[in-house]
Amino acid sequence: MVESNIKFSDLVRVFVYGTLKPGEANYKKYCGGKIVDVKRAFVQGKLFALPMGYPAMTLGDSQVHGYLLSFHNPRILNELDVLEDYQPNRQSPENLYNRQIIEVYELQSLFLGWAWVYLMTLEQVEQLGGFLQPDGWWSGCSLTPKHSYDL
């Protein structure tokens, strides 16, 4: 399939808020050269920093800021599932993160559509010693400032 023939509806979309964001630790390994579109975006939830050096998101009513990444190869989900310690055939509490579909918005609050996101339960976050990021932004290496919209 020629990339110019890829329909938007055929893309796999993933909202990322942590180490998979452009400029963060896992972006190059898992996303580099595989993305067909990237947009700054936000979702509704709550964002926590974990002592292990990566974040967790739970369901909630605050804004969590990150990026909407679009991929043309659906196998990307298998790779990300391994990174996030998610297996769809396991019970939810047995996974570190669980993958689900969420509404995504651009920074002007316009609806961008639906995308996959990796979430933790609040109980897991508490057990791991997570602490709330009230501005909804996480950066592990300070390469992704909250207000930098340039890639």
Per DSSP, the residues of 42-60 read EEEEEEEE-TTS-EEEEEE
Q: What is residue 9's predicted lDDT score, i.e. its pLDDT?
A: 60
Q: What is residue 5's predicted lDDT score, i.e. its pLDDT?
A: 45
Structure tokens at 55: 């974040």
CB 99, CB 77: distance < 8 Å: yes
Query: Which pTM was predicted?
Result: 0.88
In sequence order, the β-bridge partners of residue 105 are 42, 111
CA–CA dist 15, 43 (Å, integer): 8
Domains of the chain: 3-132 (3.10.490.10)
Structure tokens at 103: 């509404």
What letter represents residue 31's amino acid? C
Structure tokens at 136: 């909804």
Q: Which residue ranges in the chain fall short of pLDDT 50?
A: 1-7, 142-145, 147-151
Q: Tokens 């509404």 — which residue?
A: 103
CA–CA dist 135, 14 (Å, integer): 21
Q: What is residue 134's predicted lDDT score, i.e. its pLDDT?
A: 95
Q: Tokens 């974990």 — which residue?
A: 50
Q: What is residue 46's predicted lDDT score, i.e. its pLDDT?
A: 98
CB 6, CB 36: distance < 8 Å: yes
- Say which residues have a Cβ less than 8 Å from residue 32's Cβ, sequence separation at least 6: none
Structure tokens at 27: 């972006």
Element (H, E) at 27: helix 27-31
